[in-house]
């Protein structure tokens, strides 16, 4: 039999994690309350996978940053095809390419793409907030930011194609991460220096679990800016770019 001391220790751990621990027992099973909560959390995770971008709301929010906004789509024409064919989520459709073709002679430092990934809920809830924290850092560093791109049914690698059309030195894509039972709205950020079509994931750096219950917006923005700063300094990104001190030299830095 589990001692009261062990039960107390397990309960205290729950203050620090949303993991399913110390659920208790009812006979040979978990209590009905915990079983129902599990089913509810599972339903939220499934809903997040099939959620859709709130295009009108997001477009309005992105325009508040005083940059042009492009509304783009991948070659995955619907959510079901997107889930079955990850490769189509990595490529822009023809209409999107035509939109970006007007920028072929431009040059930018950073291209920022925003896409649903596996949780549009994450983008709907958090994209604006992380950009509110990040944009002042980029602007203060005199980084030339490309028009913002809001992409439906995109995967991480679609930012490589978008950035190539914009002649951007670095790509940052905000994407909804695969939902967990305790985190259906977790947002991830991927940074790639010198992006080009066909790059492997080893060339990217990731900041994950961005949400109020995980990595807070300001802390996430500092990490992202640090990685962008170091990518420009070292002219690389990915496994060779290590995260050391994100608080060092965040201010008074210029590209």
Q: Where are the domains of the chain?
A: 55-234
The yes-or-no verdict on residue 153 having pLDDT over 80 is yes
Strand-pair partners of 115? 151, 175
Strand order in the sheet with 168-176: 69-73, 148-152, 108-115, 168-176, 187-193, 204-210
User: Any idea which of 52-56, 98-102, 240-244 has the lowest mean pLDDT?
Assistant: 240-244
Place of tokens 């925003």: 114
Q: Taking a C-beta distance cutoff of 8 angstroms, is the pair 122, 211 a contact? A: yes
The pLDDT value recorded for residue 184 is: 80
The yes-or-no verdict on residue 156 having pLDDT over 70 is yes
In angstroms, the CA 189 to CA 82 distance is 20
The yes-or-no verdict on residue 65 having pLDDT over 60 is yes
Q: How many angstroms separate the Cα of 84 from the Cα of each of 35, 79, 80, 141, 153?
A: 30, 9, 6, 41, 12
Average pLDDT (210-239) is 96
DSSP 66: S
Tell me the pLDDT band of 1, cut-offs 50, 70 and 90.
very low
- Topology, domain 55-234: Rossmann fold (3.40.50)
């Amino acid at each position: 039999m589990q001692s009261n001391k062990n039960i107390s220790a397990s309960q205290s751990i729950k203050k620090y994690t949303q993991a399913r621990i110390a659920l208790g027992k009812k006979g040979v099973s978990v209590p009905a309350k915990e079983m129902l909560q599990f089913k509810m959390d599972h339903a939220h995770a499934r809903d997040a996978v099939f959620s859709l971008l709130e295009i009108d709301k997001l477009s309005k929010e992105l325009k508040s940053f005083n940059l042009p906004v492009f509304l783009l789509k991948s070659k995955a024409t619907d959510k079901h095809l997107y889930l079955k064919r990850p490769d189509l989520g990595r490529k822009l459709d023809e209409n999107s390419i035509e939109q970006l073709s007007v920028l072929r002679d431009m040059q930018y430092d950073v291209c920022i793409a925003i896409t649903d990934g596996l949780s549009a809920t994450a983008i709907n809830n958090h994209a604006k907030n992380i950009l509110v924290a990040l944009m002042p850092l980029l602007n203060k560093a005199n980084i030339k930011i490309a028009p913002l791109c809001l992409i439906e049914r995109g995967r991480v690698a679609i930012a490589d194609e978008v950035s190539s059309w914009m002649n951007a030195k670095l790509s940052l894509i905000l994407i909804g991460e695969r939902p967990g039972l305790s985190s259906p709205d977790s947002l991830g950020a991927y940074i790639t220096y010198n992006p080009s079509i066909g790059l492997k994931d080893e060339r990217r750096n990731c900041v994950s679990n961005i949400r109020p219950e995980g990595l807070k917006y300001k802390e996430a923005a500092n990490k992202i800016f640090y990685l962008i700063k170091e990518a420009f300094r070292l002219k690389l990104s990915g496994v060779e770019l290590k995260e050391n001190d994100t608080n060092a030299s965040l201010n008074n830095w210029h590209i």
